[in-house]
Amino acid sequence: MIALGGELDIARRAEIAAALQVDGPGPGILVDLSEVTYADSTIIAELLRFRDATRREGRAVATLIGRPQFARILAYAGLAEAFRVFDDRGAALTFLAEAGR
């Protein structure tokens, strides 16, 4: 699991990029952004990079977003379909378990 919270903006780019690393093939990954209070295009760019890397490795990713404002940012950017977004941890974990079969 990868968890990030607070304000995700350009000032935290290095931290975000370091957290969103893919270390080769493996199980699905839960990206928990449920505690994010603000996000700018920095997180979107890093999530896209991460998504591409996980696809190359054949790993499923579930993105947990707790605040509707962040979900709207993805939707406004036209990226709602680019990520498997969940607002419920149980549903996200179920998705990852089924993807791993």
Class of domain 2-99: alpha beta
Token readout for 22 is 């893919």
How many residues are given for the chain? 101
Rounded to whole angstroms, the Cα distance separating 41 from 8 reads: 9
- pLDDT for 76: 82
Q: How far is CA 80 from the centre of its chain?
A: 12
Question: How would residue 8 be classed by pLDDT, with cut points 50, 70 and 90?
Answer: very high
Residue ranges covered by each domain of the chain: 2-99
Instruction: Decide if pLDDT at 78 tops 80.
Output: no
Rounded to whole angstroms, the Cα distance separating 50 from 68 reads: 22
Task: Read off the pTM.
Answer: 0.88
Sheet with 85-86, side-by-side order of all strands: 2-8, 29-39, 61-64, 85-86
